[in-house]
Amino acid sequence: MPADPVLDPAAALRERGLRVTKQRLAVMGALAATPHSGAEAVTTAVRLEVGRVSSQAVYDVLHALTAHGLLRRIQPAGSTARYELRVGDSHHHLVCRGCGRVVDVDCATPTAPCLDPTTVHTVAPGFVVDEAEVTFWGLCETCTTRSGRTPSLQEETA
């Protein structure tokens, strides 16, 4: 069983041949506490944990961990890149158009890719699909309440 990057980040780093550093642990800790954070939020959290560290150093850690498959990077349209420790499973994201909040939703199909384009063999013979990126867009409860109306149908009946 591979090490759980939330429960044992040091072991997860070692498994991938990465040196265990305070900064890397702090980045992983920040993302365990607040998944789908952007680089700025991660930098703020890392500074609280380890003191002075440049944003560039945090970017470098984010890139290295993503390249080694320890982090998943998502970038909803119109948003900065967000990072999370939940990798290798088949989950998707709900993104609120109002506040940008991102929520994980499990996919009904546990292994990626969960969707198979039916025409792939005719349009791109030999193309091996390994992931389907699905993003559900809408308004979270808070934003729906704040907008003072339910988004459904009112437009038409007004």
Burial of 91 (0-12, 13-18, 19+ CB in 10 A): middle
Closer residue to Zn ion in complex, CB, 63/101: 101
The H or E element that residue 46 is part of is helix 39-50
- The verdict on 143 binding Zn ion (CB under 5 A) reads yes
Q: Binding residue for Zn ion (CB under 5 A) from 13, 39, 84, 95?
A: 84
The binder of Zn ion chosen from 88, 98, 117, 138 (CB under 5 A): 98
Contact 71, 29 (CB under 8 A): no
Q: Provide the β-strand partners of residue 93.
A: 104, 135
The answer to whether residue 40 forms part of the interface with Zn ion (CB under 5 A) is no
87 binds Zn ion (CB under 5 A): no
85 binds Zn ion (CB under 5 A): no
Parallel, antiparallel or unpaired: strands 72-74 and 91-96: unpaired
Task: Report if residue 140 touches Zn ion, rule: CB under 5 A.
Answer: yes
Stretch that binds Zn ion, among 9-17, 23-31, 107-115, 145-153 (CB under 5 A): 107-115
Choose the binding region for Zn ion from 18-26, 54-62, 63-71, 134-142 (rule: CB under 5 A): 134-142
> Applying CB under 5 A, which part among 3-11, 13-21, 58-66, 103-111 lies near Zn ion?
103-111
96 binds Zn ion (CB under 5 A): yes
Tell me the helices (H) and strands (E) count for the chain, helix number first.
7, 6
Which is nearest to 66 in space by CA: 39, 45, 105?
A: 39
- For 82, how many CA atoms within 13 A lie in the half-sphere containing its CB? 20
Q: Determine if 104 is a binding residue for Zn ion (CB under 5 A).
A: yes
Binding positions for Zn ion, rule: CB under 5 A: 84, 96, 98-99, 101, 104, 107, 114, 140, 143
